[in-house]
Amino acid sequence: MYAILQHGGHQYRVASGDRILVDRIPVEVGSTVTLESVLLIGDGSETDVAKGSPVEASVTATVIAHRRGRKIRVFSYKPKKRHRRTLGYRSQLTELLIDEVGRGKAAAKPKAAAPKRAAAPKAAKADAVAAEAEAIAVEAEAIAADAEVAEAEVAAAELAVEDAVEAEAAEPKAKKPAADKPAAEKPAAPKRARTPKPKKEPGDGS
């Protein structure tokens, strides 16, 4: 029995025991993979061809190794533009050993169920919740008591301030006695002596 399958944009004719190189498959070496994109399957004179959809067949293979293809040099240039470019490329490949070619889709392997966590007993949970609620209530009572004490202190301080203001307003303000100081006499300024003007004589041209 042989099959023609499609993988990575390429088509391969495979039979049991063949080795093929396909595009890199991200699995560990030694693991088993199932290729279900089968286009044709033949068994002697009987051939089943896909019409619009893959044939209900599967190919099972084992990963032998991960390899790299040969290096390819790509050179491009544009005349009269001073454009030269060289690139290198190596394809990443996986080598497969075909184990079985069969009709029908491969049965999906059941996934192992994750172990469930052991549920804590409900009684223990209820006790923990009750203890936490009691602690919260005690803390709330302490906060309320502190608030009452603070309010009483504020009220007492306000009353003390009001009493002090009233007492200060009730006391008469004593007038300050005027200081009996003799007024300082200012010394008289000395009079300036007048200088006599020179008399004009007759005949003087001035």
Which helix H or strand E contains 66, and what residues bound it? Answer: strand 57-68
For residue 182, the model assigns a pLDDT of: 57
pLDDT band at 129 (very low <50, low <70, confident <90, very high): confident
pTM of the model: 0.46
- In the numeric block, which tokens belong to residue 140? 């709330």
Q: What is the mean pLDDT of the chain?
A: 80
pLDDT > 70? residue 39: yes
Alpha helices in the chain (DSSP H): 122-170
Residues 91, 77: Cα–Cα separation, whole Å = 23
- In the numeric block, which tokens belong to residue 79? 């005349």
Whether 206 contacts 200, CB under 8 Å? yes
Give me the phi and psi of 163, to 5 degrees please. -60, -40
DSSP lists the bridge partners of residue 62 as: 32, 97
Q: For the chain, which residues make up each domain, given as ranges? A: 2-103, 121-169
Give Cα 60 distance to the centre of its chain: 44
For residue 30, the model assigns a pLDDT of: 93
Residues 68, 21: Cα–Cα separation, whole Å = 10
pLDDT > 80? residue 123: no
Looking at residues 179-191, what average pLDDT do you find? Answer: 62
Looking at residues 21-41, what average pLDDT do you find? Answer: 91
pLDDT > 70? residue 159: yes
Looking at residues 178-188, what average pLDDT do you find? Answer: 60
For residue 127, the model assigns a pLDDT of: 80
